[in-house]
Amino acid sequence: MLNRKIYCYLRNFFETEKKALLISGARQVGKTFAIRKVGKECFADVVEVNFLNSPECRKAFKTPTDAKEILLRLSALTEKKLVPGNTLIFFDEVQECPEMVTAIKFLVDEGSYRYVMSGSLLGVELKDIRSVPVGYMAEKEMFPLDFEEFAEAVGMSADVMKYVKECYEQRKVVDEVVHDKMNDLVRLYLIIGGMPEAVQKYIVTNNLQVVREAQRAILHLYGKDIAKYDPKNKLYIKDIFDLIPSELNAKNKRFILKALNEKAKFERYKNSFLWLADAGVALPTYNVEEPRLPLKLGEQRNLFKLFLSDVGLLASQYAANIAIDLLTGKSEINYGSIYENFAAQELRAHGYALYYFNNKKQGELDFVVEDKGKVLPIEIKSGKDYKRHNALSNVMGNEEYDIPHAIVFSNGNVEVVGRILYYPIYMLMYLQPEMLAEPIFKFSPI
Distance CA 169, CA 421 (A): 12
**Long-range contacts: 254-261, Cβ < 8 Å, 24+?**
254/287, 254/303, 254/304, 254/305, 254/358, 255/304, 255/305, 255/306, 260/236
Angle 196-205/208-229 helices, nearest 10 degrees? 160
The model carries a pTM of: 0.90
pLDDT digits (tens, 9 = 90+) for 408-444: 999 999 999 999 999 999 999 999 997 555 556 666 6
Residue 248's CB: how many other CB atoms inside 10 A? 22
pLDDT digits (tens, 9 = 90+) for 170-221: 999 999 999 999 999 999 999 999 999 999 999 999 999 999 999 999 999 9
Distance CA 290, CA 67 (A): 50
Please say whether the beta carbons of 276 and 242 come within 8 A.
no
For 3-139, give the CATH class.
alpha beta
pLDDT at 439: 57
Give residue 193's region: left, alpha or beta (phi > 0; psi -120 to 50): left
Residue ranges, the chain, pLDDT below 70: 64, 121-132, 230-235, 251-254, 256-269, 320-321, 323, 329-334, 435-444, 446
pLDDT digits (tens, 9 = 90+) for 222-265: 888 877 776 655 567 888 888 888 888 776 666 766 566 655 56
DSSP per-residue letters across 157-203: -HHHHHHHHHHHHHT-PPPHHHHHHHHHHHHHHHHH-S-HHHHHHHH
Please say whether the beta carbons of 338 and 400 come within 8 A.
no
pLDDT at 326: 75
Chain centre to alpha carbon of residue 219 = 16
Q: Percent helix, strand and coil across the chain, each rounded to 5?
A: 45, 15, 35
pLDDT at 126: 39
- DSSP classification of residue 126: S
pLDDT at 15: 96
pLDDT at 180: 96
Q: Give CATH 3.40.50.300 domain extents, the chain.
A: 3-139
